Amino acid sequence: CPLRTYLSKRPLHLCNSSLRLFFNTTVLADVMFKIQGATVPAHKAVLVARCEVMAAMFNGNYIESNSFLVPVYGISKDTFLSFLEYLYTDSCCPASILQAMSLLICAEMYQVSRLQHICELYIITQLQSMPSRELTSTNLSVVTLLQKAKFHNSDCLSNWLLHFIASNYLIFSQKPEFEDLSVEERNFIEMHRWPSSMYLRQLAEYRNYIHSRKCHCLIM
């Protein structure tokens, strides 16, 4: 594809600055996406160059190849706009973990692996930065994130979330969502949990020993 070759040879910063001018504008737009009762303009050349699923959709024997108005299902308008913004600018700035997960799901739907990895990294970074007190009080369900990551083939994120739950066992084991884990997931977490059962048992024995020594201290 000559256009793909041309774009790939251009400096990335030029692509970012020039294509951004056409994001979400009707100027030279040749396709409109209908989503949640609204329409979003786009340019087939950009979509075909940046997304293989879009390329197959608009170049193949699909109804979308000859349609000006293309419906989009299963994605919110805001998420789809963020997805298109990435295609036009090669940048992504999710506002929250939940938004990043929605964008990851959209990226998986359209097979844009780099965007998936960006969303994975964002989610991991945000969770890692949460102090224990916030993890305890947050309404964000890490187990639900794990289930969505596994369902949408995000192996890197799902594996990390399993280890994250295991590493913060005392926090997550007290949450109601912990019961939603599968038997296999529970077994993995119990095997890799921290603190481990052995550590807690040894800690209890040590504290009992120290307490008994204090009680029989002749000096005191």
pLDDT, position 17: 61
CA within 13 Å, CB half, 69 = 5
State which H helix or E strand residue 38 sits in: strand 38-42
pLDDT, position 195: 74
CA dist 18 and 34 (Å) reads: 25
pLDDT, position 6: 41
pLDDT, position 194: 86
pLDDT, position 3: 42
- Is the Cβ–Cβ distance between 76 and 83 less than 8 Å? no
**DSSP codes joined into one string, 132-160:** HHHHHH----HHHHHHHHHHTT-HHHHHH
Q: Name 40's bridge partners.
A: 33
pTM above 0.85, yes or no: no
**DSSP codes joined into one string, 8-32:** HHS-HHHHHHHHGGGTT--TT--EE
For residues 175-196, b (16+ Cβ closer than 10 Å) or e, as one string?
Answer: beebeebeeebeebbeeebeee
pLDDT, position 171: 95
> CB neighbours of 87 closer than 8 A, spacing ≥ 6?
46, 47, 50, 51, 112
Q: Which amino acid is at 182?
A: S
Q: Please work out, in degrees rounded to the nearest 5, the angle formed at the alpha carbon of residue 132 by the alpha carbons of 184 and 163.
A: 25
Spell out the per-residue pLDDT of the chain, length 220, in tens.
444 444 445 554 445 568 889 999 999 999 999 999 999 999 999 999 999 999 999 987 778 778 899 999 999 999 999 999 999 999 988 999 999 999 999 999 999 999 999 999 999 999 999 999 999 999 999 999 999 999 999 999 999 999 999 999 999 999 999 999 999 999 999 999 887 766 556 656 667 767 777 655 555 4
